Amino acid sequence: MTYTFQFGQILGYWPQLLNGALLTIKLSAFAMVFGLIIGVVCALARTYGNAAASWAAAGYVEFIRNTPFLIQLYFVFFALPNFGIRLDSNTAALVAMSINLGAYSTEIVRAGLESVPTGQIEAGRSLGLKRLQIIRFIILLPAIRAVYPALCSQFILTLLGSSVVSAIAAEELTAFANTLNMQTFRSFEIYLIVTVLYIAMAFAFRAIFAGVHHLVFANRG
């Protein structure tokens, strides 16, 4: 059995592939920002909040971490319109990705918060710092620094998991690849190119994360 590779036909769609990759990058980057914000807020609620806030955050984390991302995506895109909330496919993808990442970020950040030595917190109190000041200046930065590698790994998983949003026709890389496959039937060439693009995006994000670590954490004790 022989197979004739025809990359030339696929490379003719290079602009569309790049547009799909660009949307993947945008969705992933915004989801990383929003997911981290959600994670920090919920981690603080679980660790330092009152009972109601702690239980609410815990319930959110357990619900998201024990249901498939695809179901969460379908709920945002297909179920919310029943309550008058209609989102286009790209916005629904971003919302679902952010909510999903937020749950995983919560547990990662919470581990960082719990790693901060009690002595540092007591020192802040002895200096007369208020609770929010202690969290901001003494707890949060060391906590994020401690779990930064784990957060970065979770961010990369979010980037790679963004391919799932093609199920609701979000116009990212995998969605265009699937459309192109139905038009050309050159599956091997298409998904090999897509694989290379995902690897390139993952390494690019890792380089950015390394730069952020150097700028924010490297010179801090």
**Count of domains forming the chain:** 1
Q: Is residue 34 part of a domain?
A: yes
Q: Is residue 2 part of a domain?
A: no
Q: Is residue 1 part of a domain?
A: no
Q: pTM, whole model, 2 decimals?
A: 0.91
Over its length of 221 residues, how does the chain's per-residue pLDDT go in tens digits? 577 777 888 888 889 999 999 999 999 999 999 999 999 999 999 998 899 999 999 999 999 999 999 999 999 999 999 999 999 999 999 999 999 999 999 999 999 998 888 888 788 788 778 878 888 878 888 899 999 999 999 999 999 999 999 998 788 999 999 999 898 888 888 999 999 999 999 999 999 999 999 998 876 65
SS (H, E, C) 2-34: CCCCCHHHHHCCHHHHHHHHHHHHHHHHHHHHH
Q: Provide the pLDDT for residue 1.
A: 58
Return d(Cα 36, Cα 100) in angstroms, integer. 11
In one-letter notation, the amino acid at residue 181 is N
Cα dihedral across residues 191, 197, 200, 201: positive or negative: negative
Q: Is residue 18 part of a domain?
A: yes
Return d(Cα 175, Cα 92) in angstroms, integer. 15
Return d(Cα 180, Cα 15) in angstroms, integer. 13
Q: Is residue 165 part of a domain?
A: yes
In one-letter notation, the amino acid at residue 109 is V
Contact 23, 90 (CB under 8 A): yes
Q: Provide the pLDDT for residue 220.
A: 60
Q: Is residue 154 part of a domain?
A: yes
Enter the tokens of residue 139: 């707890």
Contact 177, 162 (CB under 8 A): no
**Which CATH number goes with the domain that contains 73?**
1.10.3720.10
Q: Is residue 221 part of a domain?
A: no
Q: Provide the pLDDT for residue 221.
A: 53
Write out the residue range of the structural domain in which residue 147 sits: 7-216
Q: Is residue 79 part of a domain?
A: yes
Q: Provide the pLDDT for residue 4.
A: 76
